[in-house]
Chain A
Amino acid sequence: MNEVLRIDSVTKRFGGLVAVDRFDGYVKQGELLGLIGPNGAGKTTLFNVITGMYAPDEGRIFFFGKDISGFKPHEITRFGIARTFQNIRLFSDMSVLENVMVSQHLKLRNWLWFFKCIAKTPDSIRMERHMREEALKLLKRVGLENFANEKASSLPYGLQRKLEIARALSTNPRMLLLDEPAAGMNPQETFELMGFIKQIREDFKLTIMIIEHDMKVIMGICERIYVMDYGKLIAEGNPEQIQSNPLVIKAYLGEEVLL
């Protein structure tokens, strides 16, 4: 199977703290990969390094064989990696539809569009219509079409998470990074979310990497799991292997339980 992402000995430090410590890993085409570990293990930092929010101090990241380390976040999004955030980061004062349309903006690749948009040339009007249709299609896909004109901040929590995913999908990604998508959801919502994630993987031919504390989600949908602790990769394997790995149990529960 094809390799989509390769993380090659990536290190990220904050002052004296080594948040990610020589992390090696890969993600295969179409895979649903889980990334777990105790709080502060460096999972989100790894996401931030992959998406260019932080430049890695050491190591490199390859996306479809291309070295993307050191590129800016917006460039990496254009390469085809989209993400959601642990603490929801919607454009809260804009409508649900506008939130998704913002992600269509990267289709305007050169600044000629800037003048076309001001002059409202026919092709800019066509483009605007196209963006709206694409965004509506996505909203329909995630079941938010009835909220299109509501303010994003007025949505209930679970729907805000869904909107974040729709917004990420709107950048037309090949790979999606989900940072704790089930946080704050009730069991029913979580169950639906699991089906939803699997479904969008099929529909959009995505490769997905997911950080989640809810083990039901991770064990239920992930084919392979990486476990991080203190910035290091401590275990790798399928759900059964991870569940029985003593190192993982130790990282989560501490020393005493093992003894």
Chain B
Amino acid sequence: MEKSLSNSLKFILTLALIVVIGFLLFLANKRASEYVILILNLMAINMIFAVSLTLINGITGIFSLGHAGFIAIGAYVSTLLTLPVAQKEMTFLIKPLIYPFNQIQMPFLPATLIAGLVAAGFGYVVAAPSLRLIGDYLAIATLGLGETIRIIANNAWSITNGALGLKAIPPYTNIYWSWGWAFVTVLVIASLVKSSYGRALKAIREDPIAAKAMGINVFSHQVVSFVLGSFFAGVGGALWAHLITTIDPKSFAFSKTFEILIMAVLGGLGSISGAIIGASIYTVGLEFLRVLESPFKIWFINFPGIPGMRMVVLSIMLIVLMLFWQRGIMGRDELTWDLIYKLFTKSARRRGVVDE
């Protein structure tokens, strides 16, 4: 019989971890520089994106490439709801904003929720036709849907202000909102994955035909997974818009989906803890890679910064990851206390042998 930790101990450890993280964030919010706080916010939002993408792509096995589209919906809907009426009049110069958006303004929380719900509703509408396709066809169809949302955003001047985008979005997103929502996202999705529904979704990923034969309604489960993933993508989009305070259709190009895919793949496609780790490493790593684009000096020669170098390195990283380390950090495993305990005792045992 393998040694493992008792459930109550695991619960206490988890609680302690959450308290510690919460306290660190509290400290950061008080003391850290604006730059660090920005990165922390981005990290949480990226976690929301990566975890919701993992639910759809990694757990359920729907290879969707339309995540940026749902993020865009969340960002636009929430912004249209929170932007002050006067600001809207100043922004929408080419064509006035349509009713009722031109008259309402609401607090951040309901706006975020509505943004998530609209994204989820859109996910529901597009899921039905897309999920009739399988594999690569689905990937292309969802890619097309994501791009179509962007093209619509570019042209529907009376809703999105077209290519000019929306500016002066109230900077509501702070550590508490972003990490609070990240916490909710992880909690809901992890709780789902750890339930009978999670097993059903994984079964669909492994073999849809066998899953059907075991009494699982494959289609409706895929739709639910897609809708839930879209909801959190929409919420994340709302948080993101209120962090960077200007959005335009270009912000939601396919490269956004690509970034999230890197996070999920780095962490291990199919693992929620992997997605969290991947998003964290990506967010921080991207900042470190800024060095590549800043001017540098070798001996006495000054080199100017090379714009675009970060993305070159990132794409090479993704290719190398796929060629040599497809599993990513976590593979499809979850980082549980049991796993940590096992790793710890194993390395301790190994050390013990060396000591002798």
Contacts and interface: CB of A to CB of B under 8 A. Distances in A.
B217 A108 contact: no
A124 B195 contact: yes
B207 A91 contact: yes
A128 B214 contact: no
A73 B213 contact: yes
Main secondary structure of the interface of A (DSSP, over half): helix
B199 interface: yes
A102 B216 contact: yes
Contact of B216 (A74, A119, A127, A168): A74
Contacts of B197: 105, 108, 113-114, 117
A102 B212 contact: no
A77 B216 CA distance: 9
Contacts of A168: 213-214
A117 B199 contact: no
Contacts of A103: 214-215
A125 to B, nearest CB: 10
A178 B215 CA distance: 16
Contact of B210 (A89, A104, A114, A131): A89
Contacts of B188: 118
Contacts of B203: 91, 94, 102, 105
B195 A128 contact: yes
Contacts of B139: none
Contacts, number: 103
B310 interface: no
Contacts of A51: 213
Given A94-B203, A114-B224, A117-B191, A105 B210 contact: no
A114 B228 CA distance: 12
- Category for how many chain A residues contact B: 35 or more
A250 interface: no
A7 interface: no
Contacts of A85: 209-210, 213
Contact of A91 (B195, B206, B215): B206
A64 to B, nearest CB: 17
A83 interface: yes
Nearest to B198: A117
Interface in A83-130: 83, 85, 89-94, 98, 101-106, 108, 111, 113-114, 117-120, 124, 127-128
Contact of B218 (A74, A83, A104, A118): A74
A171 interface: yes
The number of chain B residues touching the other chain, given as a range, is 20 to 34
B215 to A, nearest CB: 3
A171 B303 CA distance: 68
A75 to B, nearest CB: 8
A72 interface: yes
A78 B215 contact: yes
A94 B207 contact: no
A101 B214 CA distance: 10
Contacts of B218: 74
Interface string B180-219: 0000000010011001110110110011011111111110
B196 A104 contact: yes
A119 B355 CA distance: 48
Nearest to A170: B214
A174 interface: no
B290 to A, nearest CB: 38
B342 interface: no
Given A89-B207, A93-B206, A94-B206, A77 B199 contact: no
B167 interface: no
Given A94-B199, A117-B191, A128-B196, A82 B206 contact: no
Contacts of A92: 206-207
A74 B208 CA distance: 11
Contacts of B209: 53, 85, 89
Contacts of B199: 94, 98, 101-102, 105
B250 interface: no
Contacts of B211: 91, 102
A224 interface: no
Contact of A74 (B196, B206, B207, B212): B212
B256 interface: no
Nearest to A89: B210
Interface in A122-143: 124, 127-128, 131
Q: Which of A73, A77, A114, A171 has the most CB of B within 10 A?
A: A73
A114 B195 CA distance: 9
A12 interface: no
Given A105-B199, A105-B200, A127-B196, A77 B210 contact: no
A60 interface: no
Interface string B247-282: 000000000000000000000000000000000000
Contact of B215 (A94, A114, A120, A171): A171
A92 B332 CA distance: 13
Interface of A: 51, 53, 72-74, 77-78, 82-83, 85, 89-94, 98, 101-106, 108, 111, 113-114, 117-120, 124, 127-128, 131, 167-168, 170-171
Given A91-B203, A102-B216, 14 more contacts: A74-B216, A78-B215, A83-B213, A101-B196, A103-B215, A104-B196, A108-B196, A113-B197, A117-B192, A118-B192, A120-B191, A120-B195, A124-B195, A168-B213
9 contacts: A72-B212, A74-B214, A90-B206, A91-B207, A101-B199, A113-B197, A114-B192, A114-B197, A128-B195
A-B pairs, top 8 by smallest CB distance, nearest first, are A106-B215, A117-B195, A77-B215, A91-B206, A89-B210, A73-B212, A102-B203, A103-B214
